[in-house]
Amino acid sequence: MWPWEHLAIGYLAFSVLVHLRLRRPPTGAECLLVALGTQFPDLVDKPLAWVFGVLTSGTSMAHSLFVAVPLSVFVLVAARRYGRTAAAAAFVVGYLLHLPGDILYGPLLLGRDVSVDALLWPFVRPPETATRSVELFGRIEGYVTLYRAAVARPEATAYLLFEATLLGGAVVRWVADGRPFPTLRLGHR
């Protein structure tokens, strides 16, 4: 799944959750945390695999339920102690939705087989994708090239309609929420 797709799904889900539970739109800080959560597994696993060669796959440790669930519980418990439950929930919602997004995206939209190997790391090893001989930006460039070729095919119409609906829906929801954006506060009042 592409980063913008993770972000769109995470934002839509968190916005609905906040509206239902707290009867308000997400704050700017919560938007930042949901965005971070939606990208977190890839920000951890891909550099550790592709750059440092510590992991054998770009979807392993941070994509594992054995890491994601305990880390999410820890974040929520710690945040509750400091009265920041909604902010922590933003990160956790984004993080936990990333996992089924990666698992179901290919099978549902691209007709690939379902594989839950990444969710079961370290007990099940995902296919190896780590080769340090390819630098990070070279690998990203390769994925972008594959994406461009895939969406140029005639059978990509359904995928592109889904993509436009998902991204458009997230933008419409964000605008309806008042376009929340995190602000930095420098100094004290």
Give the C-alpha separation, 35 to 25, whole Å. Answer: 15
181 domain residue, yes or no: no
State how far the Cα of 167 lies from the Cα of 7, in Å rounded to an integer. Answer: 9
Residue 186 lies in a domain: no
Q: Is 121 part of a structural domain of the chain?
A: yes
What is the rounded CA–CA span in Å between residue 62 and residue 179?
A: 30
Question: 106 or 3, which is more confident?
Answer: 3
Are 79 and 71 in contact, with CB atoms under 8 Å apart? Answer: no
Number of domains within the chain: 1
For residue 156 the two structure tokens come to 């990509």
Please check whether residue 164 lies inside any domain of the structure. Answer: yes
Q: What is the pTM of this model?
A: 0.89
- 83-134 confidence digits (pLDDT tens): 999 999 999 999 999 999 999 987 777 777 888 999 999 999 877 765 554 5
* Mean per-residue pLDDT, 4-25: 97
Tokens 């339920």 correspond to 65
Looking at every residue in the chain, the average pLDDT score rounds to: 89
Going by pLDDT thresholds of 50, 70 and 90, the confidence category of residue 187 is low
Identify whether 188 is part of a domain: no
Q: What's the token pair of residue 83?
A: 């009265």
183 belongs to a structural domain: no
Q: Is residue 172 a part of any domain in this protein? A: yes
Domain that holds residue 162: 3-176
Assigned domain for 182 exists:
no
Percentage with pLDDT > 70 across the chain: 92
In angstroms, rounded to a whole number, what is the distance separating the alpha carbons of residues 47 and 174?
30
| Buried-state track 5-16, b at ≥16 Cβ within 10 A, e below 16 | bbbbbbbbbbbe
User: Which two tokens mark 112?
Assistant: 């690939």
| Residue 51 confidence class, pLDDT cut points 50, 70, 90 | confident
Task: Report the 10 Å Cβ neighbour count for 31.
Answer: 24
